[in-house]
Amino acid sequence: MIANFFEKIGSLNPQLFREIKGRFNPFNLIVTIASSLLTQIIVFGYQLREFPSDQLYLRDKYCGLNSFYSQKETFLYTQQNDLQQKISNYKQLKNLSDPSIITQLETQLKQVTTDIDNLRNYMNRNFCPLNEINFSLWWRDHWEYIFLTFTVIFVFTLLVGGTYLLISDLAKEEQRGTLNFIRLSPQSPNTILGGKILGVPSLIYLFFLTILPLHFWAGRSANIASSYILTFYLILAASCLFFFSAAVLFSFASRSFSSFQPWLGSGSVFLFLFITIVSTSSSINYFHHPFNWVRFFSPWDITAYLFPNLFRQENPVEKFQFFYFPIGKNLVTLTLFYLVNYGIFTYIFWQSMIRCFSNNNATFLTKGQSYACMAFIQVMFLGLSMQKSSDSYYSDTMALLLIVNYCIIVALMFILSHPRQTIIDWARYKHQNQRQVSVLDDLVWGEKSPALVAIAVNVLIACVPIVCLFVFSDPELLKYESLSKFTLMIFVSLCLMMIYATITQLTLLMKNQKRYVWSVGIVSSIIFLPGIMLTMLGFYPEKYSIVWLFSSFPWAGIQYASTGWMFTAMLFDFTVLALLNIQLNKQVKRLGESATKALLAGR
């Protein structure tokens, strides 16, 4: 029967069969199942050590007499407070007809205080009779503790462990050269990569499946609805697919890290999960900010939503809104929101994986995919900005959104820009495609054309939510001067991003083998060094706004500069951009010449 099962797997996905066959040897299976059983015994035994006995105090919540004595204690405390209040009121009276009333009340107060002390001593020293212990409540609570413990174990084990195994396996395949052999096989990239994601962490899946019955039983014994438990499994599966796809893409993108790859990738996942679990369990916890969107890629918030006793904190995700629509009020809409987030980015990662697997020199995204990805990100930012909350300020959100989009655009420059050989091929053979596709279409959508126009399109897409937030912000900002400054800021940002993109493409045309390292270093220096140097020299934006306008971070000086100087800065940036593009055009034209022509020209 097992042989038939593996035979079916081999016919459906040979790569999955290869991965499972290499891992499901007797030793690995015994270790995995033994680890699973040992984990279950430890977790169950840890809870069982608190099993109620004849040493359970009356004050314990599992004692049936606790409510009786607690009510009596509450009654005595109420009496004590009333007597103290009466004594205080009588002492404030100057002409008291019978002074002995205070003495009588003080005597009663002493008696009540004595009764309270006696009751507390009795409750702390005496044990609950066995027939009064509520064993059903104890089991319900401790089944829940077992369930929640395994829930946390599942998330960390599957996501961190699976990420490590995938990156490690791909790194070893790359070093041995077997990955190139797999590329030459008749299997499709989808089949190969799907087999990797399903097969490499298969022992972790087995560990998870052997604990699953106890986990589900513990949840049902704790009176947790089956629909909630199944929803958690669905979210966990979606998050696994998301993180594992990202892990495979990371392994393709970071080949130079070699043996350090698995630790870097899994460590990043662990750090992300740790930070998000801390933020979810924190008392200062809110969702009224668009940049909390990143938390929707971690399963902790919806896990706390499904199982409120996980962190014993008020869950702010219940108040979460998207374009003022109360997503968090309903489990179905919240689950769909999570699945859409996971699904879209998993699809993006998957397409990038296929591109990188099929061609090592391919960019992670096509230009069309970058537009769709950027548009989706901006829609999410805009939707998350529109929430009915006093904590949401459009002006602050707009400033942060500008910084985040700035980082995204810089990342897209390196993702979309082509290396030297790709540009050479495009420059030499572009005339063959111009009969079918116009130059503009080729620059906007072309697979091998320079990425400058694509970067400009992405910058324009990124400006949409900023413009919307500006319109929805304080009406005072819509006055002529503020509107003029805002318009000029958009144009300055566009010019600056295009300057960075042009420099990125120019540096990637170098013959140096480490041109990506040089490109990152040069562009990073241009972006960060001017601002750092100006700050170190004491040129602060409040006093030297004009200097900042002509730096790589002009937004710091916009608030303090006049419209005229902003217009001058825009013209300056445009001039620099034009000169850089002239140089790029010359270089691309020179690279596009045939080797024979270059030789005859003496080059």
List, for residues 524-552, the tens digit of each pLDDT value.
888 888 888 888 888 887 787 888 888 87
Residues 562 and 531 in one domain: yes
pLDDT at 16 over 70: yes
Residues 273 and 195 in one domain: yes
pLDDT at 3 over 70: no
Residue 464 lies in a domain: no
Residue type, 60: D
Residues 524 and 590 in one domain: yes
pLDDT at 54 over 80: no
Residue 381 lies in a domain: no
Residue 506 lies in a domain: no
Using CA atoms, how far apart are residues 596 and 593, in angstroms rounded to an integer? 8
Using CA atoms, how far apart are residues 407 and 563, in angstroms rounded to an integer? 26
Residues 72 and 172 in one domain: no
How many Cβ atoms from other residues are within 10 Å of residue 74's Cβ?
10
Contact 530, 552 (CB under 8 A): yes
Of 345, 360, 375, which residue sits at a domain end? 360
The closest of 1, 108, 129 to 53, measured between CA atoms, is: 129
Q: What is residue 392's predicted lDDT score, i.e. its pLDDT? A: 47
Q: What is residue 253's predicted lDDT score, i.e. its pLDDT? A: 80
Per-residue pLDDT, averaged over 566-580, amounts to 88
Residues 141 and 114 in one domain: no
Residue 545 lies in a domain: yes
Of 360, 394, 414, which residue sits at a domain end? 360
Share of the chain above pLDDT 70, in %: 86
pLDDT in tens, 260-281: 888 989 999 999 999 989 888 8
| Residue 25: C-alpha distances to residues 13, 37, 157, 163, 201 (Å) | 19, 18, 21, 22, 14
pTM reported for the whole predicted model: 0.83
Structure tokens that stand for 20 in this block: 């499972």
Residues 14 and 121 in one domain: no
How many Cβ atoms from other residues are within 10 Å of residue 566's Cβ?
23
Using CA atoms, how far apart are residues 181 and 188, in angstroms rounded to an integer? 13
Residue 444's H or E segment, with its range, is: helix 439-445
Share of the chain above pLDDT 90, in %: 23
Of 331, 360, 389, which residue sits at a domain end? 360
Residue 7's H or E segment, with its range, is: helix 2-12
Residue type, 598: A
Residues 71 and 216 in one domain: no
Max avg pLDDT among 222-226, 240-244, 516-520: 240-244
Residues 144 and 107 in one domain: no
Residue 456 lies in a domain: no
Q: Output the DSSP codes for 40-91.
A: HHHHHHHHHTT---TT-BTTSTTBTTHHHHHHHHHHHHHHHHHHHHHHHHHH
Q: What is residue 600's predicted lDDT score, i.e. its pLDDT? A: 47
Residues 111 and 158 in one domain: no
Contacts for 318-327: CB closer than 8 Å, 24+ residues apart: 319/287, 319/288, 319/389, 320/287, 320/387, 321/386, 321/387, 321/388, 321/389, 322/383, 322/384, 322/386, 322/387, 323/382, 323/383, 323/386, 324/386, 324/387, 324/388
Residue 499 lies in a domain: no
Residue type, 219: G
Residues 297 and 175 in one domain: yes
Q: What is residue 96's predicted lDDT score, i.e. its pLDDT? A: 63
Residue 355 lies in a domain: yes
How many domains would you assign to the chain?
A: 3
How many Cβ atoms from other residues are within 10 Å of residue 261's Cβ?
22
Residue 435 lies in a domain: no
pLDDT in tens, 223-236: 899 999 999 999 99
| Residue 194: C-alpha distances to residues 169, 201, 475 (Å) | 14, 12, 52
Using CA atoms, how far apart are residues 210 and 377, in angstroms rounded to an integer? 38
| Range of the structural domain that residue 74 is part of | 66-91+100-127
Q: How confident is the model at residue 374 (pLDDT cuts 50, 70, 90)?
A: very high
Residues 10 and 107 in one domain: no
Residues 181 and 301 in one domain: yes
Q: Output the DSSP codes for 508-527.
A: HTSS-TTHHHHHHHHHHHHH
Using CA atoms, how far apart are residues 288 and 321, in angstroms rounded to an integer? 8
Using CA atoms, how far apart are residues 163 and 247, in angstroms rounded to an integer? 6
